[in-house]
Amino acid sequence: MLSTWEEKVEFVRMHYEEQGYRVHSGLQFGAELVLYADRPDLVHSDFCIHVTRDDESIDWREMQTLVRSMPDLHKTLVLANVKGIDVGKPYVEELAITTEHAPFRHRPKTIEVGGQKKKSRTNLQN
């Protein structure tokens, strides 16, 4: 169970889906996953998820690149590490790295639309 890195990414995907997020590929942002609080055509994503590798260490150049790009993208970087595999009770350990340009917005399950709303097509014409 969860023997490959791809299986761990899928486990992290399911973790965030269970919390109510819509989870998509984060390839365009340099991360494994990106989280939406609602449909991507209605809201911008607030979080980029980077799933750490087995050895739990992160190359400082990779970290610097990810951290530097997040403010320009208006996203919060979340490092996700799958723990507890050895005892048969896997869980996701998270570390959020945010800046003043990408405020941390925790998404309670009661909120239906995310923090960054896209302009509707009718508003764009005005």
pLDDT tier, 117 (very low <50, low <70, confident <90, very high otherwise): low
Q: In sequence order, what E strands does the chain have? A: 22-25, 33-36, 47-51, 76-83, 91-97
One-letter amino acid at 92 equals: V
Q: State the maximum Cα–Cα separation within the chain, in Å, rounded to a whole number.
A: 58
Cα within 13 Å of Cα(10), Cβ side: 7
pLDDT tens readout for residues 22-57: 999 999 998 999 999 988 888 889 899 999 887 667
Domain 5-125 coded CATH 3.90.1530.10 = no
The answer to pTM > 0.85 is: no
